[in-house]
Structure 1
Amino acid sequence: MPKEPVPALIVEALARRLGRPVTMAEAGFPHPPSESNSHPGTSTVEDLVDLGRQDVVDPSRRSVIGASLFTVALTIPDWPDVVGRMEAAQTGAAPRIGMPEVHMVTAMTERISELDDQFGGRHARPMAAAFLVSSVAPYLRAEAPENVRKAMMSAASDLCYLTGYMAVDEGLHGLAQRYYLKALELAGASEDHLTYCTTLRGMSVQAVDLGHGRTAMRLADAAAAASPAAGPRMRAFLAGQQAHAAAQTGDHARALTYLREAETSMDKAESRERAFGSYDPAALNYHTSQVRFEMGDMRGAVEAMQQSDKLRYDIYRRTRVKERAILAERQFAVGHLEAACATWSSALNDYPLVQSGRADQRMKKMLSLLRPHVKNQVARTLHERARTIVPAHLRG
């Protein structure tokens, strides 16, 4: 029997080759108890503590749980399967809690989200994991009125989603999925439709960015189906992701239909939502760019990404670095080398302030693309500048 993480890698290889999900049992491997997602219950808090501790404290285990692995065979619980399923946790030493503790968890989550937006998740995610272990888990075990207990589970779900999102940013896809699944369990237990749908959508984003179009489509559709009464901004948030996933599967007609739906819904939206659940015109233009890119319209993809950059709020520095680098890659692809260099240069201005795995990979790709063109003065100047800023292990 191979040691971890080899069984998961084998299952992933089989699933990709067969074009369908493959379970650990089908491949002849025992299913790790900690990865069972079908029956959320009293183990949720204990699993959360274990996950957070492994993420923060034990680097040797982190290499296993945080492997850059996307397991398409994961069992995603449906809303009816998780709603209300988490039984009251046994009361520990924690005192009785009330709404002030819920508000504190919500405020901490919002602050960590702001740090992620501005500086990337490399430092913010361990803070979130430590907070889950030291404060949130004891609160989930504490005595509380039913309304407070549900509100605390909802707040914990938000934090798990955010922590998973930051793990995706660092390229730790296995770790991200574990946080996402805990977010789904807690959202169902607290009957929090918003966080449940947001988490499914986040899993779809993770899948589509890794090229798993069919899985991304399934997750995006599940998120939309679980939110039948969504307001216009939430509908735009969901439809934009459905459009991207559909385009990646080659269903261009469906992609354009979802994109028009997102545009119509955005026109109706009147207010912004919380930071990590928001969807604004910059995000819509990003999805427009992704759809056009998947359809082979590179110039249209460039135009939409430029519009997205113009509309993006200044607080989203990490996103600005990543998506300006993507814009530059697309300008480069259509033969606009000097325009691409200008865009890369603007991304490089913010890059030293951002600790992000995705930003790192974009800078590494920039250097690789520029290297054959250093005879061009503009490209050479940027290449030389980048080599003084980008860490040595990314320079190639």
Structure 2
Amino acid sequence: MDPSRRSVLGVGLFSVALTIPNWPDVVGRMEAVQKGDVQRIGMADVQTVAAMTERISELDDQFGGRTARPMSAAFLVNTATPYLGMEAPESVRKAMMGAVSDLCYLTGYMAVDEGLHGLAQRYYLKALELAGASEDHLTFCTTLRGMSVQAVDLGHGAEAMRLADAAAAASPQAGPRMRAFLVGQQAHAAAQTGARAKAQRYLREAEVAMEKAESQSKAFGSYDPSSLLYHTSQVRYELGDIAGSIEAMEQSDRLRQSVYRRARVRHRCVLAERQLELGHFEAACQTWILALEDYPSLQSGRADERIRTMHSRIRPFMRNHAARELFERARPVTPARLLPG
């Protein structure tokens, strides 16, 4: 990383820190760490890492991995990792390892969004190492599940199943929402391997767990009914029920919270692709138009791929009025590298 780039990222990091309660203390502590003035850490430093991770995650949801990952990587290198080598009571040391593990997982997740799969794997493995050392079962399970999501999205069903099973096995005491989070991924992976009965059984388990979770509390920013409906859609599609997958994806879109901009773009594009598979061309074009509303705000490799796919799918239909209208709306906001040659 060249010095000029480092300074730009530093400005971005401190801008994120300004949004955190008691931000003068957070910013001051970050500056002190980077100068080498901090020798011993406490729980306030653990809370700093956790708060920065949360804020960077929010930026990732709204603006994509290419926007947020450089800030996350810079914070990890310049502030969070140095904390691990400082003096601390054992309880603080373990808590810091857990907090840095969560940050590593998030950074890996954003690398997946950029299409940097090898880099993502390295972050994920470091997250597992730190989570194991700190006995942070939540991050350990979440990271294994994230690795399963990466595998299933790349079409490696057997590996995705192995990782999803490992995530579920590592969290035997999971609450109902966490259970739905883990079992929903098992359902998707099982469906991709063609294990119909297993996929449907896991999906039913996820639905029961979600009903129980929703009756207890409606947690913000976690696995929710919209997320489960996305998994339902994926399972149905893998098992050949395209119409059913469309129905579930439409329900998921209606329930999705507005803060999840990237997911909205990606999933609407997937919905349009499946509508097109059934020959519902005009409906697909309208769904793609909805996806374009949020797309200009994103810096996301996964969203880019969906937009690239959109252009390739509509190209044979350019004599159709709906296709031409969609193309004219898409062209000004589509990077040149994504347009057909």
Q: TM-score, normalised by structure 1?
A: 0.76
Rounded to whole Å, the distance in 2 between the matches of 1:97 and 1:328 is 50
Q: Does 1:339 align with 2:283?
A: yes
Report deviation, 1:273. Answer: 5.2
Q: Secondary structure at the match of 2:132?
A: helix
Unpaired segments ≥5 residues, structure 1: 1-51, 58-91
2:120 to 176, 181, 189: 176
- 8 Å contact kept, 1:213–1:245: yes
1:256 maps to which of 178, 200, 214: 200
Residue 325 of structure 1: aligned partner: 269
Encode CA deviations 1:243-284: one digit per residue, 9 max, x unaligned: 000000000000000000000000000335574xx2100000
* 2:49 matches 1:105: yes
Do structure 1's residue 297 and structure 2's residue 237 form an aligned pair? no
How far 1:94 sits from its partner (Å)? 3.9
CA deviations 1:137-171 (Å, max 9, x no partner) are 11100000011001100000000000000000111
Question: Is 1:370–1:379's contact at 8 Å kept on the other side of the alignment?
Answer: yes
- Is 2:143 the partner of 1:199? yes
Q: How many percent identity over aligned positions?
A: 71
Name the structure 2 match of 1:25. Answer: none
SS at match of 2:83: helix
Residues 60-139 of structure 1 aligned to structure 2 (within 5 Å): 94-139=38-83
How many equivalent pairs are there? 307
CA root-mean-square deviation: 1.4
SS at match of 1:95: coil
CA distance in 1, matches of 2:203, 2:219: 20
- Residue 379 (structure 1) aligned to one of 313, 323, 328: 323
TM-score computed with the length of structure 2 as normaliser: 0.88
Q: Which residue of 2 aligns with 1:271?
A: 217
1:65 maps to none
Cα deviation for residue 374 of structure 1 reads 1.2
In structure 2, C-alpha distance between the alignment counterparts of 1:231 and 1:265, rounded to whole Å: 8
Q: Who is 1:187 aligned against? A: 131
Cα distance in 2 for partners of 1:364, 1:149 equals 45
Match of 2:176 among 232, 236, 240: 232
Aligned residue in 2 for 1:368: 312
Shift of residue 93 of structure 1?
A: 6.9
Q: Would you identify which runs of 4 or more consecutive aligned residues in structure 1 move more than 6 Å?
A: none
What SS is found at the alignment partner of 2:50?
helix
Instruction: Tell me the alpha carbon deviations over residues 20-49 of structure 1, each in whole angstroms, 9 at most, x when there is no partner.
Output: xxxxxxxxxxxxxxxxxxxxxxxxxxxxxx
- 2 CA distance for matches of 1:209 and 1:123? 22
Which blocks of at least 5 consecutive residues in structure 2 are unaligned? 7-35
Report how far residue 116 of structure 1 moved: 0.3
Provide the secondary structure at the position in 2 that maps to 1:143.
Answer: coil
Deviation at 1:121, TM superposition (A): 1.1
2:124 partner SS? helix
Rounded Cα–Cα distance in structure 2 between residues aligned with 1:384 and 1:371: 12
Partner SS for 2:279: coil
Residue by residue, what CA displacement relative to the aligned partner does 1:105-128 show, whole Å, maximum 9, x if unpaired?
Answer: 000000000000111110210100
Query: Any idea what SS the aligned residue of 1:96 has?
Result: coil
Q: Which amino acid aligns with 1:202?
A: G
Contact 1:93 1:142 in 2 (8 A): no
